[in-house]
Structure 1
Amino acid sequence: MLSVVTGFRAVLGAGCHRGPGSSHSQVRHAGHNKWSKIKKLKGANDLQRAKRTSKITSQIISSVKAGGGETDPAHNLYLASALQMAREHQMPKATLETALKKAVGGGSDGTEDLHSSVYEGLAPPGVAIIIEALTANKNRAFAEIRHALTKRGGSMTPVSYLFTKRGRIVFGAGSSGHSLSEMEENAIEAEVEDIVNLDETDQTVEVYCGVKDVLAITKKLSKIGYEMKEFEMAYISSEKVDVPEDAAENFGSLLDQLEGMDDVVKVHHNAS
């Protein structure tokens, strides 16, 4: 387990030098969507926190399998992302260590039988949704997700053609003391593909990159002293759908229900 923790620290390590330069013309500024911000603003009660801890624990365990048995997060994006989520949600140390032990040596609680599944659907008013699940019962997960969609006027239907798998990174100034513009400049030099959002409230920068480049870019940014808030593989769509005011409550409730399901890990959508 020591190698896992050591590797994790290496992924999030900090220093104080800048990476090599790159062409500014290669970077696009993509639009930011309000739904991720709304999600952040919602407070979590004790039950929600406990459920989130359980989900992250399962993700840590399954990430080793998804990464071909690789237990070094410096070489396993799935594990690195799961450990970062544990850090972000301040998972208790004992819980994290237990999850890591199970990830390395297996467990006897059934978690080793979890399977990754991806479900696709269309929610009103025409928003495409991709749901990532980690479940021991694919039929149950499918039924629960379909029920949530259909009762709000949606349906299970192929939509993955609207999305592209991309790396997503959100970082703050950390110990660097840099402004948003300096952070943006260094993100460009680290060879990100898109600058998605400069958040003046949180003082964070959100960027997209190639999936295979996530760990390399987080290392470059960490060496400058930046704090990695989030990094993951995400389904990103360039075809955004506006949610009218009269449909916002229904759509928000759907997201809440899907994200609250025990089997659901992540929900991706193209709502703007």
Structure 2
Amino acid sequence: MNTSLYDTELPIRSEIISTQSAALEHWASPGTWLTAVERTAAVEEVRRARDADELPPWIAPSTVEGLIPDDHPLPSAAIDMVWRVTNHLTTLTLEWYQDLVPSALEAGEYVELIGLISQVNLVDHFADGLSLPRPRLRQPIDGEPTRITPAAAAVSTHWVPTAPIVDDSWQPVDHSEGTGLSAARGVPNVRRALSLVPPERVMQWVLIDAHYVPGGALGGDFAESVWSLQRPQIELIGARTSAINECFY
């Protein structure tokens, strides 16, 4: 199977190819807080962090001589944050976050980077797991960050500000009231996690819906088959992977 992403005989679903291709375009585009050059550099830094000899979480890579290029597009705080989240996710604390935001990074910059880190890990672990070369990054696209922040964003149940969202894939919108706000009720926190930077939230769930199950099916019938696996098989793999990665959500 020769696709624009992978040269392989493996039967990769078209949904995976199309969403990963969309992610590559997304990473190379100007973001909300970061330029396309900075976003591409962040993606490259995720890969560098994962492939490098592991540093202890208390050592910032920006302080290691010769490890980070002097002309890196990202500030040291962003580079150190990318490495810490990529390699030592379970060591993150609220105190660590508050030392970083807003003194070194804006909350929006932090959330945008978190979105990129999550997306890159999903795509690259897919390729690594199949022993395929990781998709090649595209050239950054000219343009400026939008710096648009949702008006209703506020700190509630997350470290970072989040915003109310209308998520049709999770709960249908009741248009009879003319507001569409009913869909925001009952949307789980994990669906709101990147809502301070909406394009990252959308891209994250485009990928998850194609690689896991569509959002609207999360609370559906567990006896149904999804893609080529039965739902219980998917959840068993997901639960085991989460446990190994110490993800206790």
Shorter-normalised TM range: under 0.3
TM-score, with length taken from structure 1: 0.23
Higher relative contact order (CA 8 A, sep 6+): 1
TM-score, with length taken from structure 2: 0.24
